[in-house]
Amino acid sequence: MKRHGRGIPLWIFPAMALGFSLLLACPAAAAPAPAPASGRSCQSCHDDEAFRSRFAGSVHGKNSCTSCHTDIGDLQTHMTGKQKPAPVNCGSCHQEVARDFQKNFHYLQEDFRCTDCHRGIHALEKADENFKLAVILKCTECHANDEYVASGHSEAVLRGYQDSAACSDCHGLHDTRVYHTSLEAYPGEAREFYTDKCRACHEDPKVMGRSGIPTDIVKRYEATYHGKVQDIGYPTRVAGCADCHTSHNILPPTDVRSSIHPANLVTNCGRCHQGFNPRFVLYKAHPNYHDRKNYPTLFWTFVFMSLLLIGTFLFFWVHTLLWWRKVYWEKDKRERLGGSAEMLPPGSEGLVPVERFSLRERIVHILLILSFMMLVMTGFPLKYHEAPWAKTLIGLWGGAAGAGLFHRIAAGLLTALFLYVLVLSLQFLFPKGQRTKGFWGRLFGPDSLCPNLKDLRDVIGMFRWFFDKGEMPKFERWTYWEKFDFMAVFWGMFAIGGSGLLLWIPEWSSWVVPGWILNVATLIHSEEALLAALFIFTVHFFNTHFIPTKFPLDTLIFTGRYRLEEMKEQKPLHYERLRAEGKLEPLKRKHPTIPLKIVSGIFGLASLLLGLTLTILILWAMFLE
């Protein structure tokens, strides 16, 4: 073989050229395309404008030809046509994009490749400034654009408003999900996905502020039943953003083309709700209870319920605190003086049990406890859906649907108990059909639970006793706080029961009341439930169990009996009246059996602990979340 120059074999020069070409095949290389032995470049053949003048300024302009066409190892063979290039593997560099694209609808369902969208790859330039417009133009090459291009989002993008949503903001670029697009078969996963996409922009106060859209629109949606159930993890049960606003036809309610235009609401709502009166659509999907101008009824309802809660708790929590201080201080004072509660001698009449509550009344109270606890445990996870404990608690009932079922069962039981007590009250007021004789005497008499003037005097006397200005009032059969508990049931059932009945089957309710009443009912139902729960778990628990003279548990409501001495001490006027009328003796009972005391203690303590746990969770959600 001939040698050239200083004894170097001539074959080394083609080898060096091949070596340089392989080196330039590295994706990180930034050198121009290699020249084969003939001195020709890639542009010698690929000489149209995309390769000759536009490639250098494209997004891949710093790459060599063989950084993408890696299988071209022998340019001479390729140039003779004997070696054809294989399809380019974009994923060799764009690995993360490739992973996303493998789950893409276009790849899975349509067998798309990168170049189906990224055509003219050799002359492709960045679209940083008009990226959203470029996305819209690209997507609408295949997709019908009538709806989207006419929508509020697209119009804004076409006007140059970059905050508005383009196709990729909702559907993604390379991770476009595979979902059924029909609302009739709209899967929960898709509903949740697209609702989250809407939230991404619409809960951003800066973006909404620039758009002139209310900044709290998402929070207002989350305050509705739709938003709460979806947020707690059960989107299949309720409507998401796209269910009402549709997929692309996103227009304001003033536009006749909009799905939320008043003329289109019956059809729009009818996709989920059936059998409603047309005024059902007057329901407000994004109500604002703080907006006096646009939602006056909701605003004043909110004000009334807030004042009711504040007034009730302000009075009774102060009452409870003062009572605890008075009793605890007096107990401590007796202990310091070496005394304690007076011990009655064995066989004393004061130790004889007397009946306070009949078996019927005890059963009613136990059923009331069970239904009330179930209502709180199934309702409050939705009220405080953002609290970390909400999903766990609602999961105990089998999810939102299961919780709703048990909530309605408990509501039905509570309603039945209320109607039963109402019948007993009417029988008390009108015994044996006597509708007029002695009515006022029975209504305001000592055995009645209806408040009277003595109760007002007892309230004043109780506060004087709290501050050591007088003796503790002497009570008859019912104290003023017991009467409040009883009368609150009537108000509570009117408020929480009536509103709950309207919300039970809202389509039926629309034949009785307009849809906006359902917004009022939702507010009343929620706030009255909070009032009832916190009142029972704090004030009522203290009055009956946590007062220092009864702590930690008074089993009276479960056994139905207390000692005659306790009756004389707690209800002196009642004791004296029964003794004077000769009615005391029939009330004497045997001492509760051991099984009854064990069951009463277990059930009572379990109820108290559950109530205190729920109180902590509620306060946690109110003040810490």
More confident residue, 364 or 131: 364
| C-beta neighbour count of 297 within 10 angstroms | 12
CB 531 within 8 A of CB 524: no
Buried b / exposed e over 103-122, threshold 16 CB at 10 Å, is ebebbeeeebebeeeeeebb
Mean pLDDT to the nearest integer, 159-173 = 86
Q: What is the DSSP letter of 353?
A: E
Residue 20 has pLDDT above 60, yes or no: no
Min mean pLDDT across 141-145, 444-448, 506-510 is at 141-145
pLDDT at 8: 35
Give the largest CA-CA distance in the chain.
142
Torsion, Cα 403 273 242 406, to 10 degrees, reads 0
Mean pLDDT of the chain: 86
Mean pLDDT to the nearest integer, 203-231 = 90
Q: Residue 468, CB half-sphere, CA atoms under 13 Å: how many? A: 5
pLDDT at 497: 94
Q: For residues 219 and 237, what is the distance between their CA atoms, to the nearest angstrom?
A: 19
Q: Position 334: which residue type?
A: R
Mean pLDDT to the nearest integer, 325-353 = 79
Indicate the residue among 75, 92, 109 that finishes a domain.
Answer: 92
pLDDT digits (tens, 9 = 90+) for 573-603: 999 999 999 999 999 999 999 999 999 999 9
pLDDT digits (tens, 9 = 90+) for 116-130: 888 888 888 877 668
Q: What share of the chain is helix, strand, coil (3-state, %, to 5)?
A: 60, 0, 35
Mean pLDDT to the nearest integer, 441-463 = 95
Helix axes 359-383, 400-429, angle to 10 degrees: 140
Q: For residues 531 and 525, what is the distance between their CA atoms, to the nearest angstrom?
A: 10
Residues with Cβ < 8 Å from 317, sequence gap 6 or more?
538, 539
Residue 4 has pLDDT above 70, yes or no: no
Consecutive H or E run containing 436: none
Whether residue 252 is contained in a domain is answered as no
Q: Residue 122, CB half-sphere, CA atoms under 13 Å: how many? A: 17
pLDDT at 476: 96
Whether residue 437 is contained in a domain is answered as yes
Whether residue 561 is contained in a domain is answered as yes
Can you list the positions of beta strands (E) in 518-608? 561-563
pLDDT at 185: 56
CB 438 within 8 A of CB 447: no
Residue 503 has pLDDT above 60, yes or no: yes
Residue 344 has pLDDT above 80, yes or no: no
pLDDT at 403: 96
pLDDT at 37: 45
**Which tokens in the block code for residue 158?**
């076409």
Helix axes 296-336, 516-534, angle to 10 degrees: 0
Whether residue 179 is contained in a domain is answered as no
Cis peptide before 572 (omega within 30 of 0): no
pLDDT at 184: 53
Residue 10 has pLDDT above 50, yes or no: no
Whether residue 279 is contained in a domain is answered as no
pLDDT at 31: 40
CB 34 within 8 A of CB 20: yes
Angle value at C-alpha 388, between 221 and 309, nearest 5 degrees: 65
Indicate the residue among 92, 114, 141 that finishes a domain.
Answer: 92
pLDDT at 432: 79
pLDDT at 437: 59
Min mean pLDDT across 297-311, 314-328, 422-436 is at 422-436
Residues with Cβ < 8 Å from 42, sequence gap 6 or more?
33, 51, 65
Mean pLDDT to the nearest integer, 447-451 = 95
pLDDT at 66: 82
The β-bridge partners of 355 are 561
CB 225 within 8 A of CB 500: no
Residue 354 has pLDDT above 90, yes or no: yes
Consecutive H or E run containing 354: strand 353-355
Torsion, Cα 490 458 543 427, to 10 degrees, reads -40
Map 478-531 to HEC letters.
CCHHHHHHHHHHHHHHHHHHHHHHHHHCHHHHCCCCCCHHHHHHHHHHHHHHHH
Residue 388 has pLDDT above 80, yes or no: yes
Consecutive H or E run containing 4: strand 3-4
Residue 23 has pLDDT above 50, yes or no: no
Mean pLDDT to the nearest integer, 555-569 = 94
Q: For residues 326 and 471, what is the distance between their CA atoms, to the nearest angstrom?
A: 12
Whether residue 233 is contained in a domain is answered as no
More confident residue, 307 or 70: 307
Mean pLDDT to the nearest integer, 389-405 = 95
Instruction: State percent of the chain over pLDDT 90.
Output: 55
**Which tokens in the block code for residue 352?**
């004889």
C-alpha closest to that of 608 among 546, 521, 559: 546
pLDDT at 149: 67
pLDDT at 18: 38
Q: For residues 270 and 276, what is the distance between their CA atoms, to the nearest angstrom?
A: 8
Range of the domain at 60: 3-92
pLDDT band at 34 (very low <50, low <70, confident <90, very high): very low
pLDDT at 137: 84
pLDDT band at 434 (very low <50, low <70, confident <90, very high): low
Distances (CA, A) of 201 to 52, 215, 228, 500: 43, 10, 19, 34
pLDDT at 534: 97
Angle value at C-alpha 87, between 84 and 90, nearest 5 degrees: 140
Residues with Cβ < 8 Å from 319, sequence gap 6 or more?
462, 481, 539
Consecutive H or E run containing 9: strand 8-9
Min mean pLDDT across 78-87, 219-228, 305-314, 614-623 is at 78-87
Q: What is the DSSP letter of 538?
A: I
pLDDT band at 28 (very low <50, low <70, confident <90, very high): very low
CB 529 within 8 A of CB 309: no
Mean pLDDT to the nearest integer, 278-290 = 95
Whether residue 64 is contained in a domain is answered as yes
Number of domains in the chain: 2
pLDDT at 22: 37
More confident residue, 131 or 560: 560
Q: For residues 341 and 343, what is the distance between their CA atoms, to the nearest angstrom?
A: 6
Residue 222 has pLDDT above 70, yes or no: yes
Residue 233: strand, helix, or coil = coil
pLDDT at 17: 39
Indicate the residue among 92, 117, 137 that finishes a domain.
Answer: 92
C-alpha closest to that of 331 among 524, 132, 547, 147: 547
pLDDT digits (tens, 9 = 90+) for 41-82: 787 788 888 787 788 888 888 888 888 888 887 777 787 777
Whether residue 468 is contained in a domain is answered as yes
